[in-house]
Amino acid sequence: MSPNLILVLLISPLVGFLINGLFGKWLKGNEKLSGGIGALAVLVSLICSISAFISVKNGNPLEGDAGHLYSWIVSGAFIAGGPFEVNIGFHVDALTTVMLLVITGVGFLIHVYSIGYMHGDEGYTRYFAYLNLFVFAMLILVLGNNYLMMFVGWEGVGLCSYLLIGFWYEKQSATDAGKKAFIVNRIGDFGFLLGMFTLFAAFGSLDFVSIFDKAEAGTIEIVFGETTKATLMVATLLLFVGAIGKSAQLPLYVWLPDAMEGPTPVSALIHAATMVTAGVYMIARSAILYNLAETGAVVAWIGVLTALFAAIIALKQNDIKRILAYSTVSQLGYMFVGVGVGAYASGIFHLVTHAFFKGLMFLTAGSVMHAMANELDIRKMGGLRNKLPITHATFLVGALAIAGAPFLSGFWSKDEILHSAWDSFPFIYIIGLVTAFLTAFYMFRLIFVTFYGESRVEPEVASHLHESPAVMWLPLAILAVPSALIGLLLGVGGHNSWFHHFTEDVFPKAHEASGSVLLFMAISSVVGIAGIAYAWKRYKDRAPSAEPTNTLQKVVANKFYVDEVYNTFIVQPIKGASHFLLWKLFDSGIIDGIVNGVAALIRVIGGMLRRLQTGIVQAYIVSMVIGIVLFLAYYLFFT
Amino acid sequence: MPLEIPDINWSLLMPQLVIVSTLLIVLVFDMFDAISKKTLGWMTIVGAGIALWSSIDLLQAGTDQTQFNEMFRIDSYSLFFNIIFLVSTILVALVSISYLGSGDKKQGPYYLLILLATLGMMLMAAGNELIIVFLGLELMSLSLYVLASYFRESPASSEAGMKYLLLGAFASAFFLYGIALVYGAAGTTNIPEIISKLSVGDQLSLLSESPLFLAGIFLLIVGFGFKVAIVPFHQWAPDVYEGAPTTIAAFISAGPKAAGFAAFLTIFVDALPKLPTQATGVIVLLAMLTMTVGNVIAIAQTNIKRMLAYSSIAHAGYVMIGLAAANPDGKSSAMLYLFIYCVMNIGAFGVVIMARTADGENLMISDYAGLGFRKPLLAMFMTLMLLSLAGFPPTAGFVGKLYVFKSAVEARHYWLVIFGAINTAISAFYYLRVVVTMYMREPEEELEFKPYPPTLVIGLVLAAIGILLIGILPSLLLDQAQSAVQSALL
Amino acid sequence: MLFNFANVLIFLIVGCIFVVLNLTVSRLLHTKLFSGEKNIPYECGEDPIGDTRIKFNTRFYVIALIFLIFDVEVVFLLPWAVVFRDFGLFAFLEMLVFITILLVGLAYVWAKGDLEWIRSTQLEVQSIQREEGYDN
């Protein structure tokens, strides 16, 4: 595979961004062209991704020196730990191509869908510019052959996420949500940065290949603690902090539900299919380090607790997009369980299936909103299956997949993760199983309340109910196919499945999970079906009650008051402290005093020196001569 | 004694010959009133383009030879500088075409003088001999004196030319006197010979301590210091930049400064390690003083051309850091810095021209208020150029500063680097102030802007692409600069 | 050895005679008309006595410069003529290029009207009326 292919793959969305960004003024009148350019840019990337995938499948990855393009900056040897090199290069192996296909494949469909969804919006070209920029940043994140490039992409997607959450910036809630996402992610990014520093100190490089080679050979500088393992533990845990922020895990998940303020396709692309899975990708990429540091247990526990916690919150939500958002948090938890217990391939496989079915469900939610004049409350829906047959059918496929209905994609990937967890962490397995039950329940609660039973749609809205145009339902239909079938194609056979074979070179060998595969499958199926059945029993013909009836329900409905707790115990104290202590006293008083003082001083000095510039040539010559004499004196006599 | 004609390999002199021919063609066509100045401008661009192409061609062929009895050096070092000069000339010509318009007979030989100055710069960079350097210096300077006073109906422009001439002549005298003293002490004006005479084997020779020689070297520093506008020999710069036509201000701030440094570096990077330490001390002090004074006074400016003038003084200080390092890295990073500096500075002046209204130029920084939304393209260019001047990644300015500082750290001039870093912070203040004014201030009055001339936009787009490309892919240029320095060492 | 300098002596004597002879012939032939201007050292209208800070016609410089260029040309032509035979065609072409460049310069000066003592005032007026030099 030549780096040029990857360059085309990478640059294409950037070109799309530049066209839509720079010439937006001229494209404004022509939505089809603007959206078409955006979608086309990603289509080119998709074609390149497929080509890259075929290369990798034929045993021709792009790794090491072959992927190295150039060094951006090479410092001298004066920095401890060797010369600091910022390399620009690609690392394309099985893991990368899987991510590429997800990003460009799902991304392309979502771009097409957006052409219809964003119709008539004021910021149409701006939307596509941001979306293309996002794809570009995400591609950098997965294509880079070192942590620094990954970090550039990491920050890039964060920026685009911020811009797109706050896309409708006239809405106060949207800008607040954007800021929240940005600030919460900063905490994670800080961890990521510290992790990178630790890695550089330990390995003298940030390139994947050289880090992993040195890690395996054991040539690691001890930075923390007594052993190399301690150093690696610090590094991997710091990196994991970054993953917690980006992938919305406990305790930093709070930004993701609020991020639903952005346009729905954005939620599908960024906050379900791609960006939020960056943390999982990062850990899978660093699999060798996590295995050596043995910090997987932390990852797995955080993952499973997040999965359970988010699933419980989702039980009591009534906003269609928030239910999906909590479900995303929960499913990301599963992925972390997968990569945490060492079943990296299973975790990534769940990432793939989740990208399809969750992307699909967000888009169908968008389709529902499109039909319902942007109504989000499922209590005001009901009986929609007759009016929106395609939306209903595709949503059903997605929900069945996530609920773990036998033979659909989610069933295979979730089962693999749980099965791998059983041996080393039986508790995690059990919590995971409970979560699976809850998942099936809240998803079908959503389905039954929205699409079945009596219609509770307001008459005014009901008259306009319509199925979405083809440009919107076609992507839904296309996405429904892999959501249903990808597990059968790639996932059958557990650790001997096609997917595991494809990625076996990338990940360290996971131990064979013990126990009968069929038994585990049977348990998962029963749990999933039970959840669906219980939802059917409770919600087949009634809406959720308006008010929670007991304390427990109230706590759950209010998302365990986490936002309030954060607000009271973290945000407000920090705000207060920063207002009085930092801002009024320290910043205004001391720092500003110093800065303004220095600035004022410099200005005064500048103003005085300016006077020397009289404009009179004779004065200039005099000052030149004085300068010459002084320097000559220094030069000749101060030896 | 039989006279011998030196063997001349004309193909090596292609860049210079092309410029001379272009110059003559422009001269001939300038005689006819019917021919528009714009045509002359395009001729200049084509000529400089061919010369640029042939320079790159020679550079890639790895040429390393001398001509005219070792007076003239055609190696990757001089060719790299040729590229800097020619790129500057092309950019300035592009910007000038719309600035001058078609002109009339009285407007005089604008492009002719630009080409002459370019030829002078090329001589300076190729000079292997103090006399050739002086010849180039004077050819360049005399052309610039005329160019500075080019708008002769404008008192400011005439004043600029007059001041430049008087002070320039003063400095040239110092320079020439320096050459005389160096010749008297060393017995030759050939630069490599002078440097080789400084040491005998590993030991320093008597020459390196001869007061006559040291005084000569000091006077050379003064002469160069004036040409590249380092403090305290800088005072002509703000007045000349402000009064001269904006295109010429861009030109003077770019190519000639690079040419001055080209000769400066040739002599001093190799000579400094062999001179007593206070010679390096003088360079270090001058660098510190230049950066600090340039940046501090720039803060107090309200006129954007003057601000850019002081900023260009400060930038000369950054280049001096590379010179003070006096190692191969310092030389190559200074070369890289000069290239980047030329492109971004011409770009910044180009934006100033772009912001013209029907009643003249808007030179007050406050005139830029609100342009961020009213004139997004203009504001975008300006922001990019200023960010690059301030040294923000991923622009070229960042890369340039990084490598210059790096070379000084390697040479253990830590204080110099600290000074450079502090000054970079100071400079960010006044560069970003313009950006803030553009995006966050409301204009006091609505200004009617002229439509953007296409050639100006082309020039700015080229400059912007260059800045981003070098910022993202610095090895493109850095490798050339480093190999140029390496080949000189072998 | 010393005898060789006899050539120089003869040259000097002939030179002196030539000058004296010409001046005498001129003195005998010319009409004697004296006026104020004719009695001052520079017969070109410049007053040699008085304040040095006077406005000076810059055209003197232009003429002097042009004169100087061709003066220098002659300086180059002399050694060239001495060795011309040895170098042949090459030297001829070189000098041709040199003189051509100077001639082009002269033509340029001529075309631009800088050889006229009094330039067409019409042009001056035009250029003063014009705004600073841009027309876009």
Q: C59-129 belongs to which CATH class?
A: mainly alpha
Enumerate neighbours of A (3 or more CB pairs within 8 A): B
Size of interface B-C (CB pairs under 8 A): 57
Name the burial class of residue A406, with classes exposed (0-12), middle (13-18) and buried (19+) by CB atoms within 10 angstroms of its CB: middle
Size of interface A-B (CB pairs under 8 A): 95
Mutate to test the interface with B, among C98, C112, C136 (most CBs of B within 10 A): C136
Cα-flanking dihedrals φ and ψ of residue B124, to 5°?
-60, -45
**CA torsion angle C70 C74 C77 C81 (round to 10):** 150
For residue A572, is pLDDT > 80?
A: no
Q: Where are the alpha helices (DSSP H) in C88-120?
A: 89-111
The reply to whether the predicted model has a pTM over 0.90 is: no
> Quick check: A499 and A345 in contact, CB under 8 A?
yes
**In this structure, what token pair is assigned to residue B484?**
């140029």
Most confident of A496-510, A580-594, B68-82, C25-39: B68-82
pLDDT value at position B121? 95
pLDDT tens, chain C, 136 aa long: 667 788 889 999 999 999 999 999 988 888 777 776 667 777 666 677 777 777 777 778 888 888 898 898 889 888 888 888 877 788 888 889 989 988 988 888 888 777 777 655 545 545 544 444 434 3
The reply to whether A565 touches chain B by the CB within 8 Å rule is no
pLDDT tens for B424-478 read 988 988 898 888 888 888 877 777 777 788 888 889 999 999 999 998 888 888 8
pLDDT tens for A222-262 read 777 777 888 888 889 999 999 998 888 888 888 888 888 88
CA B94/CA A568 separation, integer angstroms: 61
- Element holding A473 (H helix, E strand): helix A470-486
CA C82/CA C88 separation, integer angstroms: 12
pLDDT value at position B379? 87
**In this structure, what token pair is assigned to residue A518?**
């069929």
Name the burial class of residue B81, with classes exposed (0-12), middle (13-18) and buried (19+) by CB atoms within 10 angstroms of its CB: buried
> Quick check: A352 and A486 in contact, CB under 8 A?
yes
Least CB–CB distance from B406: residue in A75, A612, A627 = A75
pLDDT tens for C59-86 read 788 888 888 988 988 898 888 888 888 7
Give me the residue spans of the domains in chain B. 10-487
Mutate to test the interface with A, among B149, B220, B235, B414 (most CBs of A within 10 A): B235
- Element holding B363 (H helix, E strand): none
Residues in chain B with CB shorter than 8 Å from the CB of A612 are: 235
Question: How high is the ipTM of this complex?
Answer: 0.82
Q: Please identify among residues 63-122 of chain C the ones whose CB lies closer than 8 Å to any CB of chain B.
A: 83, 86-87, 90, 101, 104-105, 107-108, 111-112
User: How many C-beta atoms lie closer than 10 Å to residue C80's C-beta?
Assistant: 15
* CB atoms B27 and C108 under 8 Å: yes
Mean pLDDT to the nearest integer, A176-191? 86
3-class SS at A90? strand
* Closest chain C residue to the Cα of B102, Cα to Cα: C135
- From A72's Cα to the closest Cα of chain B, the distance in A is 6
Confidence of residue A583 (pLDDT cuts 50, 70, 90): low
CA A126/CA A143 separation, integer angstroms: 25
* Closest chain B residue to the Cα of C84, Cα to Cα: B3
Give me the residue spans of the domains in chain C. 59-129
Confidence of residue A513 (pLDDT cuts 50, 70, 90): low
CA A355/CA A277 separation, integer angstroms: 9
